[in-house]
């Protein structure tokens, strides 16, 4: 966000808040921020505050930041929305907060994971627009259009349900597959030498930072459990086909899965 908003002349100065001194130094050297300040100083000197911490941290600090703002706008970019929206629901300055989720990310983390033009042509979700001040919403919409994203609007609970199926299950599946391979394939050289592009793309997400994903699974626990139950049910169907040598049904399951091509072209 910082890279593109600077390039497009929207952000004249970007202030960072970072407790890790190595990350702070790297963010400065990469031009992601111009200064590193304390949270209070950064809020007081900013027009827009972007919360890009793990979601449990964002939930803990958002009310305190709202206490400090006057006309400033706060937005978050977390992967769950209901918990943080509930956290500010009764705050007298609730209208200055915009709950968002840009649907893009990689398995990498830290300042060096910043990718120029990363959000282009992707979707971003804005939740609770009815509770948000018009000027705050308009500013955040302008930012996402500058990032070349298309906007979707949802209620927070609906968002969390949908991302459990579209995003969160993909990460759990990747973590589980990586653990399966590490448990059963003891020769690291074999994993390295034999891993095809298909395997690599499937387990790519298993490299994701647990500091980010454990809070996501905690906050979206009920939805993730629901999708996990369905996923386990589907896995049992494949297992049963092999156990019973029911290859006709196995083909039917795969042909049914091919239907995703109608949606994801």
User: Which is higher by pLDDT, 203 or 161?
Assistant: 161
Read off the pTM: 0.85
Domain at 2-155: CATH architecture: 3-Layer(aba) Sandwich (3.40)
Kindly give, in sequence order, each residue whose CB lies less than 8 Å from that of residue 88, ignoring residues fewer than 6 positions away. 62, 63, 66, 94, 97
Q: Where are the beta strands (DSSP E) in the chain?
A: 15-16, 35-36, 48-51, 73-76, 97-102, 123-127, 150-154
CA dist 43 → 14, 69, 72 (Å):
11, 7, 8
pLDDT surpasses 80 at 189: no
**Which region among 13-17, 93-97, 112-116, 227-231 has the lowest average model confidence (pLDDT)?**
112-116
User: Which is higher by pLDDT, 200 or 155?
Assistant: 155
pLDDT at residue number 260? 84
**How high is the mean pLDDT of the chain?**
92
pLDDT surpasses 90 at 186: no
Scan for tokens 């019973």, then name that residue.
244
The partner residues of 183 in beta bridges, in order of sequence, read none
- For residue 201, name the pLDDT band (cuts at 50, 70, 90): confident
In the chain, the percentage of residues whose pLDDT exceeds 90 is 74
Q: Which of 46, 83, 88 is nearest to 67 (CA)?
A: 88
DSSP one-letter code for 28: H
DSSP 126-151: EE-GGGS-HHHHHHHHHHHHHTT-EE
CA gap 214, 152 in Å, rounded? 26
In this prediction, residues 123-144 reach a mean pLDDT of 97
pLDDT at residue number 110? 86
- For residue 137, name the pLDDT band (cuts at 50, 70, 90): very high
pLDDT at residue number 188? 75
In this prediction, residues 237-249 reach a mean pLDDT of 96
Fold of 160-262: 6-phosphogluconate dehydrogenase C-terminal fold (1.10.3660)
pLDDT at residue number 183? 82
User: 35, 15 in Cβ contact below 8 A?
Assistant: yes
- For residue 202, name the pLDDT band (cuts at 50, 70, 90): confident
In this prediction, residues 41-59 reach a mean pLDDT of 95
pLDDT surpasses 70 at 197: no
CA dist 26 → 46, 50, 237 (Å):
21, 19, 48
User: 96, 11 in Cβ contact below 8 A?
Assistant: no
pLDDT surpasses 70 at 242: yes
pLDDT at residue number 23? 95
In the chain, the percentage of residues whose pLDDT exceeds 70 is 99
CA gap 72, 64 in Å, rounded? 14
pLDDT at residue number 160? 96
Q: Return the domain boundaries, the chain.
A: 2-155, 160-262
pLDDT at residue number 264? 78
pLDDT at residue number 191? 72
């Amino acid at each position: 966000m910082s890279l593109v908003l600077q390039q497009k002349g929207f952000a004249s100065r970007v202030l960072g808040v970072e407790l890790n001194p190595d990350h702070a130094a790297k963010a400065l050297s990469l031009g992601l921020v111009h200064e590193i300040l304390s949270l209070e100083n950064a809020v007081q000197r900013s027009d827009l505050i972007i919360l890009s911490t793990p979601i449990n941290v964002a939930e803990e600090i958002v009310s305190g930041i709202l206490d400090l703002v006057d006309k400033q706008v706060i937005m978050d970019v977390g992967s769950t929305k209901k918990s943080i929206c509930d956290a500010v629901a009764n705050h007298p300055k609730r209208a200055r907060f915009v709950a968002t989720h840009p649907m893009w990310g990689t398995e990498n983390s830290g300042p060096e994971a910043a990718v120029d033009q990363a959000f282009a042509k992707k979707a971003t979700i804005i939740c609770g627009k009815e509770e948000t001040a018009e000027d705050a919403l308009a500013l955040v919409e302008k930012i996402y259009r500058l990032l070349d994203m298309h906007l979707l609007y949802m209620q927070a609970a609906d968002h969390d349900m949908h991302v459990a199926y579209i995003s969160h299950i993909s990460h759990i599946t990747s973590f589980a597959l990586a653990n399966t391979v590490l448990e059963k394939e003891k020769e690291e050289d074999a994993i390295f030498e034999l891993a095809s592009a298909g395997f690599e793309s499937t387990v790519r997400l298993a490299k994701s930072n647990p500091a980010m994903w454990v809070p996501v699974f905690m906050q979206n626990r009920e939805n993730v459990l629901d999708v996990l139950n369905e996923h386990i049910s589907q896995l049992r169907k494949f297992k049963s086909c092999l156990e019973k040598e029911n290859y006709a049904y196995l083909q039917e399951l795969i042909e049914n899965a091919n239907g995703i091509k109608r949606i994801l072209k």
